[in-house]
Structure 1
């Protein structure tokens, strides 16, 4: 759910409790693929055929690998025990600090349970989230884990950014996602006009797909996550106040989640970063009142992924139109020469542009 009422078990329930389902690296820190192999046929048509053939081969490789590797991985690592999320009433600005404390306590208990289970990695991740300085709007240590962490003074923020991560983001790899959110908040603090309050929320509110799996090339996980993201966003005005402006920043597979959730999201700006597509043919098809932005770094391997969708054995594979293409109709801005994991890199052109979008300084955004 959002920062409001509870949801049925198995869905994202925001601050009250998380569901039980369970960068890519959807957060910065993942490894980018090598680009520019050369040897393409001179004809654009032949080049397209070669790329399609590579795409088909890559797809088959993913399907075979996922069928073998993922089940074995799940068998090797038993389910990590963790407590149910803290049972909290809907969070408001007045109860925010109490919610932070309750979720930190829950993370501490999850750390002790993971340690008793012998999972040092998860125990360390949970223990870090339980530190007194952490502002956890929500926490669920079960399965891959979920969390929503705040950077800044959310109750008094005029500008709020919510980050939605891509694949391979879980509590075990959360540090990379957190680094991105912290970098954005520092940039906002530097660039904000005097008297403007800012906050960033790292929303790990869904079970992200593994990069090497069939779920990374289908919209299934995004379809599951979309209602939870809508509810989370719907509850934010009760914490921040009705005057705050909200920007949704969606990285990689997270842009598929945002695309599925866009219809009905009350946000001012929707930003797609390193997106494989949203499942929509155009920005207009997202049916959102928000300004839709898109960017892709010059070194991002997503540029080599065919932006199409096909029906394969009754399942949709791929995510449609390239969001940085003219046909999509988004506001395309400069992301520099960075790779798939560099959109929030401190000092980068992309991070500066993201801060401008969040702060509403849209005339200062540099375009590709």
Structure 2
């Protein structure tokens, strides 16, 4: 298979990749970075088609420019997927400036090695930047993508060096062994571009679903399932304490002011409590107006102070309408008590506060 045919095969694969990524965008419109990735693949496909016209230098240069633009959009796509500013404008300008050395070089077959070196150097820089951007995204697939683009950068760097060190081996027809090998590797990279990004989207969707399954959508804190998962790994040894927290007469708020007001009260308390508790504390909403907090490293006295501080913080920054808290506290001095038993004891103390008039703290 000659070089021109391989370029057309590459263009076809790039076009199919662009179509698949556009379809992915239609399915997951809220997923960041998918549309620019699809546009990048389309630009690369168009650039490869233009590059395949070996009889026309302007078309070859135009195709190289489109390929550069495609790589710039890929970098912007990875950046936006990671939550960073895309910087699309500066990247497209950089891709445009990168074509100028190729346009300035002599257009003779004797100087084709210089054009190959310039092309490979630019692809080295873009691939390296893309590889460096992937690790900002959590997960296994982004690390694999980073490794593939890093390898791609290394191979293009080697090709640039080869073109400069052995200019007599460079060929304008792309029929040489090195050119064929580079295009075969590019074919593998196009499959990576399609599969790698799709798998990364899939991994993010999986992680988002797991997060949503463990979070309370109203308050943004852990739900009961999330609390059980996190608390099971927290402070398995050593002292710990558990707070069972109830908003007093919450049903009356819903009945009098309506459920939207009740929702605002719940969200307000979650924010206040989140500011009062430590980073290592595990805080969750486990029912309508019921909350729980696991305090690793806290004995009974420290847990009582934490509970009183919660009540005081809410009194100082009350929602509308104002509410009070009843809190049951249970402590485990050495970590020997199971979490279920600790919760049962704290729940018993909570009901004791309710029988005693509410708006207070009781220790089991």
**Does TM, scored on the shorter chain, surpass 0.5?**
no
Which one has a larger percent strand, Structure 1 or Structure 2?
Answer: 1
Calculate the TM-score normalised by the size of structure 1: 0.23
Which has a greater percent of helix?
Answer: 2
| Higher RCO by CA contacts (8 Å cutoff, separation 6 or greater) | 1
